[in-house]
Amino acid sequence: MLELALHILDIAENSVRAGAKTVFIDITEDRLRDRLEIEIRDDGAGMDEATLKKAMDPFYTSKKVRRVGLGLPLLKEAAIRAGGSFTIDSHEGSGTRVSVRFRLSHIDRQPLGDLTGAIMVLLAGNAGVDFVCRHECEGNVFTLDTREIRKEIGDIPLNHMEVLKFIRQHVTEGFKEIGTEARISHHF
């Protein structure tokens, strides 16, 4: 994976497969402290200690379509290569939390990439799951909370094309307002 948005997408999809009803994605860009922090946490099934250890093995996956699970090991390697750190915490029945830190200015840090596109893919493909995406850049904060959107749209599905168009516009404007490095997606 060449950009961090794809790692975020992969981990959030893992959360959905683990039965999460709500996935929280927090991103903080802080140039003053030279840090990029990403945390993804969910209320899914969680993992026991043995499964948690296996999750970091690139030759283990719970997915039926492929035989390797490179997502978490690649993200950990990307963080370490960019002067950062990686932690994963999970308990059966209480969800999972993945936290990653990068040195923001490190030459080997992957770009944040198309975060808008990753969010839109999550929303389009997982209409029954709520996502709370919070992005802070230099103290400016943008939050997308699908629970709030559902209150406004009533019975209209979250993945209805017009709703997705509205959300994309909202996310695009929000990212511009906070001055994030995330690329803007032109999908939907």
**34 vs 25: CA distance, rounded Å:** 20
Q: Which helix (H) or strand (E) holds 42?
A: strand 35-42
Type of residue found at 166: F
Domains of the chain: 4-178 (3.30.565.10)
DSSP structure string for 58-122: TT--S-SS-S---HHHHHHHHHHHTT-EEEEEE-TTS-EEEEEEEETT-TTPPP---HHHHHHHH
DSSP 183: P
Q: Tens-of-pLDDT digits for all 188 residues of the chain? A: 789 999 999 999 999 999 999 999 999 999 999 999 999 999 999 999 888 888 887 665 555 544 344 789 999 999 999 999 999 999 999 999 999 999 999 999 999 999 999 999 999 999 999 999 999 999 999 999 999 999 999 999 999 999 999 999 999 999 999 998 665 544 44
DSSP secondary structure code for residue 24 in this structure: E
CA-nearest of 141, 88, 95, 146 to 122 is 146
**Distance separating alpha carbons of residues 164 and 131, to the nearest angstrom:** 14
Round to whole Å and give the CA distance between 54 and 65. Answer: 18
Rounded to 10°, the helix 4-17/71-81 angle is 150
pTM of the model: 0.90
Spatial neighbors of 146 by CB under 8 A, at least 6 apart, are 123, 130, 131, 132, 158
Kind of pairing between the strands at 130-137 and 96-103: unpaired
- Per the listing, tokens 């992969």 go with 10
Confidence at residue 1, expressed as pLDDT on a 0 to 100 scale: 76
